Amino acid sequence: MNPTDHDHDPTTTPESGPESTRESGTPAAGTPAVSAGELATVHPLRTRSDQQQSTPESVPVVSDSPVIEGEIVTDEEWALLTDQRARRDARIAGYKSDLTALSRKTVSVAKSGTGLAKSKGGPVMRFTRRHVVIIAKGAEAERQRRKAEKAQTDARAARRAALEKGELDRVAELNSQITEQRRTAAEAAKLRFELYWEVGKKTALVLVILLGVAVVAGIVNGFGGWFGNWNLTDVLRTIGTVFTAGAAVVTWSVLHAWLFGLAGIGVWSYRRWKDGKALGEFVLPENLRANAAAKVAYVELSESVIIAALANIGISKLNEHIKAGWPHRDTDNPWVRPPMLAEGGKGYTAKLRLPLGASVLKINQAKDLLAHNLGCRPQELFLDPDENDPTVLDLFRLEPGVLREPVQAYPLLTDGSTDFFKGLPVGVSPRGAVVFTTVFERNFAVAGTMGSGKSTLVKALAASAALDPLCDIDVFVFADNYDYDPLAPALSTFLKGDKEENVHACLEHIKTLHADLAVRGQLLAKHQVTEVNREVAAKEPGLRPRLVIIEECQSFFRQGTPKERKELIDWVVRFYSAARKYGIVLVFVTPNPSDASLPRDLVAVTSNKACGAIDDKTRNNIVLGDKAHENGISALGLRPKTEEALFDCGTLMTKGFMNTPGLVRAFYLTAADLTAIGQRAAEMRGGATAATEAPKPQVRDLIEDLATVMVGDEPVNAGDLVGALRNLAPGYKPYKALNKAKLVALLREEHGLKIPSTDNLYPVDPVTVRQLNAGRVALRAQDDDQPE
């Protein structure tokens, strides 16, 4: 309180003596001030009116001096109020204390799983670990990107590939590119440094000039005051203020550098978090993924859906790349074509470049599992290598139910013709494109359980061939049905029925065609061509292309003894392989694809294979090739028609019909459709032609043949006669099955000849045979001369 001079102190009582007054610092009323040598001058203190005693004698005291309020502080507290360093130290200590308390509380909450962790819906530690891992993965991806840019990884990989291919010009070009890029980077760094240096110099020069101008202006204006009441002192004071403010900003920035550090770390962490987030959930450990329990559903195809599906098909190399961030890293560039709706809206398509160790073939081997992950049937998913880059997976997924929609109408139902040498339309692909399969120099094997639609495909093939007037068609059906009867006017040969003579007739027909190959070869030499073409076939009737269809071919191959069957298969395979060059194409069709019904040796040289709904992978692989099912070429998921629904009838897995193996949905032609096509085809050939019957089975006269081969009058052993008969008619099946015992039995039992068993040689008398043959000839002549 400020002391004031007054005549007396109203608060001093008469009982207060000099000691009391001295202790309180207030002299008694009327006491004169003592000299300075004895004691300090004592002045009476005023008291506030609200502190005066409530006595009648109290007199209000009024003061003109200001009242100062305050509080008593310690030396440490005073230092905090006046010393900036002490204030900074106190702040840092406070921050450390707060951080320590927060970290202890966080660890406690995370470990106990109570409090904040539960109130927010999940463990804090898992949340922290998840995002720390995301940031770490993003940082690694950024490091890899910078490393790839600095090391020019793409250019070096291209140079290595060119070197492996022996493209030395390309290698030299890439070497120059790598060197030029290094030089460009060095020049860019130099230019940046020079730019910064020039900007710094010019900025400093401008500041010096401005400072000089300001000083001169201050000096000049100090004499005349033309620009106001200011002079050099004011200019210097302003400059000092600017420098002081700058120093204050610098000082504050230094003292708060941790704030800038935290801001920089925050920005960097956020950018790395975004980079890590872009890598997808599969870079995280499984227990930290957000969608670890995702459901399988048929959803719109997207990049994340495809990668999630690929990550769960069990290919270890692919999983390693996905966990490392593929395909979201900047250095990957995997999407050749991002997922999009295919033309026509019947499916989704995408093209994805696969990483090292994960080929399209391996993806195809896991097709069933990938289809499950994408929420579709295996038959609705198509995985093919790209035509231009085998490392690119061309993925196509059909919409549900598209495979069982009605097939579009046959394009040549009412008009138009075909060209045997350019290919024939047989159906449509799952993507809706018409499939024109190559026929010339090809052969076919078609199988599938009953109701699978195999005959639907073959009838479409036959109808298309019929619309080429140059093409001759032979049909053998070892069953009684009405499948090919409507096409009969356009067929060159048509035989049906499961009879032994029909099988022999078919065999004889093929033998005739086999013998005709020599004639066709001579005609090719005549026209100086190496293979049949349309121009030559139009000029030379002997070179007309021919399509031979054998339905229910199990009846054709299941005959005779195992040895005879093997000989038949060997012979058919030789003809099968040779006939293609001469324009003869064979089609074998069976519902039971086994080695007995569709020999493996035959399938091995077959170019076009088709399999409808089938029961097991062994039969699937018999038709489509070894390990076809394991490689994703399978018809096991197809269902044959039933009384309730058609299901996948007419849809067949094919190999050789298109550029890559895949499903073909055969054109469905009714009997009326086939009738109309058959009539048109007959008109194109110059009128309906009655289908010629197949050659009848050959029947030979044993006695007549014996008389032919037995020369002289000396008896001939039965064993020698068997060999002579086989040489006389090499293709005659009864002679091929003949042996010495059978020949002797035939001559004794059927013809009444007495043949001795001399030394087990069974000699046959040629004179007796000739006499018997002469009698038979005379008897036939007598029968012919009798009138009917």
pLDDT in tens, 542-565: 999 999 999 999 988 887 778 878
Token match 């008897």: residue? 779
pLDDT at position 118 is: 41
Average pLDDT, the chain: 82
Res. 294: pLDDT tops 70:
no
Q: Cis link prior to 285 (omega < 30° from 0)?
A: no
Q: Cis link prior to 486 (omega < 30° from 0)?
A: no
Residue 700 binned pLDDT confidence (cut-offs 50, 70, 90): confident
Question: Is residue 609 classed as helix, strand or coil in its secondary structure?
Answer: strand
Q: Judge contact between 306 and 166, C-beta under 8 A.
A: no
pLDDT at position 607 is: 94
**What is the average per-residue pLDDT within 669-683?**
94
pLDDT at position 65 is: 57
Q: Judge contact between 346 and 432, C-beta under 8 A.
A: yes
**What is the average per-residue pLDDT within 142-160?**
78
Q: Is the model more confident about 299 or about 609?
A: 609
Exposed / middle / buried, residue 541 (Cβ in 10 Å: 0-12, 13-18, 19+) = exposed
Name 424's bridge partners: 437
Other beta carbons within 10 angstroms of residue 212's beta carbon come to 10
Token match 């019957």: residue? 693
Strands (E), 726-786: 763-764
**What is the average per-residue pLDDT within 403-420?**
93
Torsion (CA) 769, 770, 775, 780 in degrees, nearest 10: 100
pLDDT at position 33 is: 46
**Short-list 729, 763, 758, 728, CA closest to 743:** 763
pLDDT at position 19 is: 42
**What is the average per-residue pLDDT within 587-592?**
94
Phi, psi of 7 (to 5 degrees): -70, -40
pLDDT at position 709 is: 85
Res. 585: pLDDT tops 90:
yes
Q: Any long-range contacts for 253-258 (C-beta under 8 Å, 24+ apart)?
A: 255/88
**Short-list 605, 575, 556, CA closest to 513:** 575
Q: What DSSP string runs through 500-537?
A: HHHHHHHHHHHHHHHHHHHHHHHHHHHHT-SS--HHHH
pLDDT at position 168 is: 84
Give the 3-state DSSP-derived string for 81-111, with helices as H, strands as E and coil as C: HHCHHHHHHHHHHHHHHHHHHHHHHHHHHHH
Q: Is the model more confident about 137 or about 490?
A: 490
Q: DSSP state, 347?
A: E
Q: Judge contact between 525 and 558, C-beta under 8 A.
A: no
Identity (one letter) of the amino acid at 200? G
Tell me how far apart the alpha carbons of residues 641 and 447 are, in angstroms, rounded to a whole number.
15
pLDDT at position 23 is: 41
Element containing residue 51 per DSSP (H, E): none
Q: Is the model more confident about 687 or about 39?
A: 687
Other beta carbons within 10 angstroms of residue 43's beta carbon come to 16
Res. 292: pLDDT tops 50:
no
pLDDT at position 39 is: 52
Identity (one letter) of the amino acid at 450? M
Other beta carbons within 10 angstroms of residue 784's beta carbon come to 7
Token match 């910078």: residue? 146
pLDDT at position 6 is: 43
Tell me how far apart the alpha carbons of residues 603 and 228 are, in angstroms, rounded to a whole number.
110
Of the ranges 60-74, 173-187, 607-621, 765-779, the best mean pLDDT one:
607-621
Residue 16 binned pLDDT confidence (cut-offs 50, 70, 90): very low
Q: 142-146, 643-647, 683-687: which range is least confident on average?
A: 142-146
pLDDT in tens, 166-206: 888 888 888 888 888 888 888 888 898 999 999 999 999 99
The size of the chain, in residues, is 788
243: which 2 tokens?
Answer: 């420098």
pLDDT in tens, 307-326: 989 999 999 999 998 888 88
Tell me how far apart the alpha carbons of residues 321 and 518 are, in angstroms, rounded to a whole number.
60
pLDDT in tens, 246-291: 899 999 989 888 888 899 898 998 888 888 777 777 677 766 767 5
Res. 81: pLDDT tops 80:
no
**What is the average per-residue pLDDT within 397-423?**
92
Question: Cα separations (Å) of 508 from 472, 589, 596, 655?
Answer: 17, 19, 21, 30
**Short-list 370, 385, 419, 464, CA closest to 583:** 419
pLDDT at position 537 is: 92
Residue 117 binned pLDDT confidence (cut-offs 50, 70, 90): very low
Tell me how far apart the alpha carbons of residues 256 and 262 are, in angstroms, rounded to a whole number.
10
Other beta carbons within 10 angstroms of residue 321's beta carbon come to 22
pLDDT at position 658 is: 94
pLDDT at position 427 is: 96
pLDDT at position 107 is: 65
Q: What DSSP string runs through 352-368?
A: EE--TT--HHHHHHTHH
Q: Is the model more confident about 603 or about 93?
A: 603
Tell me how far apart the alpha carbons of residues 484 and 463 are, in angstroms, rounded to a whole number.
10
pLDDT at position 603 is: 92
Axis crossing angle, helix 500-527 with helix 562-579, rounded to the nearest 10: 30
pLDDT at position 3 is: 41
425: left (phi over 0), alpha (psi -120 to 50) or beta: beta
Res. 330: pLDDT tops 60:
yes
pTM of the model: 0.57
pLDDT in tens, 490-537: 999 999 998 888 888 898 899 889 888 988 999 999 999 999 999 999
Q: 1-10, 71-80, 296-305, 679-688: which range is least confident on average?
A: 1-10
Other beta carbons within 10 angstroms of residue 105's beta carbon come to 12
